[in-house]
């Protein structure tokens, strides 16, 4: 544990720095004790002036060669300079002299984490927990959990976070991280059970209510999730995430008016954000109330003229109103603002296809491929353009190329089977369909909407009905 020391105030720190810099400038020699050298070195490190920090350290070492606090600073400088192996050497020497030096343990753990030696990082963090001051234990528990996560040791991370909350139930970061770990391991029921028990003991923990609401929403228990968000809001009525997720739950339940009311509650206590207006606009859009949707998308743009999602929303409204050219123009504006959003290119190509501008739709998808060449949806849409322009053979070639990049995609394999069928290779298509039905029958449902000719083939229908039952 660190020993108590007198920490100099701001004025004293400033005086120490000025005196040191005056000494350097005049090439003189003044006396500074170790604590004052620490102030000087920390001053330069805080401002990323690493060479000046190193110069001050070198000067201090000449006077106090056995100072462990200077050794600690040297380790910090090596770490900040990216000289990780040297940092490890210095910090190990420090810990030989002071094995309970919490700063040394934590900094060395950070170095090991950076070089992905997570086991050593865990060892050092556990040591630090034994010796450190109480006020930093919350942070150490979080770091320890993250190291276990880095090793894929999710259940160990969960145990660490439970220990953190047993020690301090107000450790909000531990609550969120615990929910994340349960989610990553798909232990949603167990997570719900834990938070219900936690809330029984700490009923005023709004982060616990909020995360329990998220769990119930993932479990599709919408009514329970909304109830949890209401409790979180009752405890903290300006906790925006609870309102946002409550509105999201209403949207999932297709209760759009209630979602809109919830979004408007946010605007009542904080400055309106473009995203909030967009969420409201999307609700009106889903209700096919084009005028109201347009009103809120425009409000979003009045708040932030560069908010791309608002242009997407206006594009979708124009599509609803069968103004396809206007839709294309709005979506293009969104792409101009955020050219890295693959979803925007997909929407743009869909609108261009609707306008029968197939070559432009294809070029749009080719731009999307430059961002990610293994996006399944992009390749499916790309092949569909060939199909719509009477080239099922080219559509099949596109899908086969996509499978070279994403061989595990069931959706792509279904498309391959459909195009094999379409070009007359019925036997190969049916054989592939039989294999796919056994793997994932549900994925076939959406395929029938795009390939209605399959439902007119008696052999396909026979095979389909065999697996359906």
Q: What is the mean pLDDT of residues 339-363?
A: 97
pLDDT of residue 96: 85
Q: Map tokens 């050092």 to a residue.
A: 124
pLDDT in tens, 367-387: 999 999 999 999 999 999 999
Q: Which tokens hold the place of 372?
A: 């990610």
pLDDT of residue 89: 87
Q: How many residues does the chain have?
A: 469
How sure is the predictor about 5, in pLDDT bands with cuts at 50, 70 and 90? low
Residue 457 backbone dihedrals phi, psi, to 5 degrees: -100, 120
Q: Map tokens 């595990």 to a residue.
A: 408
Q: Map tokens 């599509």 to a residue.
A: 319
Q: Is the pLDDT of residue 444 over 80?
A: yes
Distance CA 330, CA 340 (A): 16
Distance CA 346, CA 365 (A): 7
Q: Is the pLDDT of residue 175 over 90?
A: yes
pLDDT of residue 7: 66
Which residue in 412, 420, 467 sits closest to 441, CA to CA?
467
Mean pLDDT of the chain: 93
pLDDT in tens, 278-314: 999 999 999 999 999 999 999 999 999 999 999 999 9
Q: Which tokens hold the place of 300?
A: 């979003």
How sure is the predictor about 25, in pLDDT bands with cuts at 50, 70 and 90? confident
Distance CA 88, CA 110 (A): 10
pLDDT in tens, 100-118: 888 889 989 999 999 999 9
Rg (CA), the chain: 31
Q: What is the mean pLDDT of residues 322-342?
A: 97
pLDDT in tens, 64-94: 887 888 888 888 888 887 888 888 988 888 8
Q: What is the mean pLDDT of residues 20-32?
A: 86
pLDDT in tens, 28-65: 888 888 888 889 888 988 888 889 888 888 888 888 88
Which residue in 262, 244, 324, 258 sits closest to 287, CA to CA?
258
Q: Where are the alpha helices (DSSP H) in 338-406?
A: 342-354, 358-371, 376-388, 392-405
Residues 102 and 132: beta-carbon distance below 8 Å: yes
Distance CA 16, CA 463 (A): 85
Q: Could you tell me the pTM of the whole model?
A: 0.82
pLDDT of residue 2: 41
- φ/ψ region of 424 (left if φ > 0, alpha if ψ in -120 to 50, else beta) reads left
Q: Is the pLDDT of residue 238 over 60?
A: yes
Q: Where are the alpha helices (DSSP H) in 151-220?
A: 154-167, 172-184, 188-201, 206-218
Which residue in 409, 410, 423 sits closest to 451, CA to CA?
423
How sure is the predictor about 1, in pLDDT bands with cuts at 50, 70 and 90? very low
Q: Map tokens 């207006």 to a residue.
A: 277
Distance CA 135, CA 351 (A): 57
258 vs 69, higher pLDDT: 258
136: Cα within 13 Å, side-chain hemisphere: 16
Distance CA 447, CA 187 (A): 32
pLDDT in tens, 122-135: 999 999 998 888 88
What's CA 295's distance to the chain center, in Å?
31
CB atoms within 10 A of CB 268: 8
pLDDT of residue 469: 65
Residues 458 and 425: beta-carbon distance below 8 Å: no
pLDDT of residue 352: 97
pLDDT in tens, 315-326: 999 999 999 999
Which residue in 314, 293, 317 sits closest to 305, CA to CA?
314
3-class DSSP state of 408: coil
Task: Give all domains of the chain, ordered by start, each with its CATH number.
Answer: 1-117 (1.25.40.10)
Q: Is the pLDDT of residue 3 over 50?
A: no
From the number of C-beta atoms within 10 Å of its C-beta (0-12, 13-18, 19+), residue 228 rates as: buried
pLDDT in tens, 140-160: 999 999 999 999 999 999 999
Q: What is the mean pLDDT of residues 240-266?
A: 97
Q: Map tokens 């796919």 to a residue.
A: 436
Q: What is the mean pLDDT of residues 355-359?
A: 96
């Amino acid at each position: 544990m660190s020993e108590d020391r007198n920490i100099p105030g701001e004025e004293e720190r400033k005086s120490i720095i000025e005196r040191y810099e005056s000494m350097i400038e005049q090439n003189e020699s003044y006396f500074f004790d170790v604590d004052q050298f620490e102030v000087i070195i920390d001053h330069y490190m805080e401002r990323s002036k690493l060479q000046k920090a190193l110069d001050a350290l070198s000067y201090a070492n000449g006077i106090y060669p056995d100072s462990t606090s200077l050794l600690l600073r040297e380790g910090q400088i090596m770490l900040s300079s990216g000289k990780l192996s040297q940092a490890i050497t210095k910090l190990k020497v420090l810990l030989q002299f002071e094995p309970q030096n919490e700063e040394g343990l934590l900094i060395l753990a950070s170095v090991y984490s950076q070089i992905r030696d997570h086991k050593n990082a865990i060892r050092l963090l556990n040591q630090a927990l034994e010796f450190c001051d109480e006020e930093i234990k919350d942070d150490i528990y979080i770091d320890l959990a993250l190291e276990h996560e880095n090793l894929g040791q999710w259940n160990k991370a969960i145990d660490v976070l439970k220990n953190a909350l047993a020690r301090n139930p107000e450790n909000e970061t531990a609550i969120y991280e615990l929910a994340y770990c349960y989610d990553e391991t798909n232990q949603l029921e167990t997570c719900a059970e834990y938070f219900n028990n936690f809330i029984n003991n700490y009923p005023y923990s709004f982060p616990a209510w909020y995360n329990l609401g998220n769990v119930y929403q993932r479990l599709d228990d919408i009514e329970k999730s909304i109830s949890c968000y209401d409790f979180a809001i009752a405890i903290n009525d300006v906790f925006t995430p609870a309102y946002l997720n409550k509105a999201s739950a209403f949207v999932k339940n297709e209760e759009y008016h209630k979602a809109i009311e919830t979004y408007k509650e946010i605007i009542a206590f904080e400055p309106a954000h473009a995203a909030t207006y967009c969420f409201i606009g999307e609700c009106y859009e889903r209700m096919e109330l084009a005028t109201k949707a347009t009103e809120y998308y425009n409000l979003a743009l009045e708040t932030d003229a560069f908010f791309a999602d608002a242009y997407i929303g206006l594009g979708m409204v124009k599509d609803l109103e069968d103004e396809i050219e206007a839709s294309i123009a709005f979506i293009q504006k969104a792409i101009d603002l955020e050219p890295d959003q693959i979803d925007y290119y997909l929407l743009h190509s869909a609108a261009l296809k609707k306008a029968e501008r197939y070559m432009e739709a294809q070029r749009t998808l080719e731009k999307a491929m430059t961002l990610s060449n293994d996006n399944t949806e992009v390749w499916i849409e790309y092949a569909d353009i060939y199909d719509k322009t009477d080239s099922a053979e080219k559509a099949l070639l596109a899908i086969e190329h996509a499978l070279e990049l994403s061989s595990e995609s069931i959706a792509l394999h279904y498309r391959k089977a459909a195009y094999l069928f379409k070009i007359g290779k019925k036997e190969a298509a049916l054989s592939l369909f039989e294999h796919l039905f056994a793997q994932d029958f549900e994925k076939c449902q959406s395929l029938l909407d795009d390939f209605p000719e399959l439902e007119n083939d008696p052999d396909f229908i026979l095979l389909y009905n065999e697996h359906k039952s």
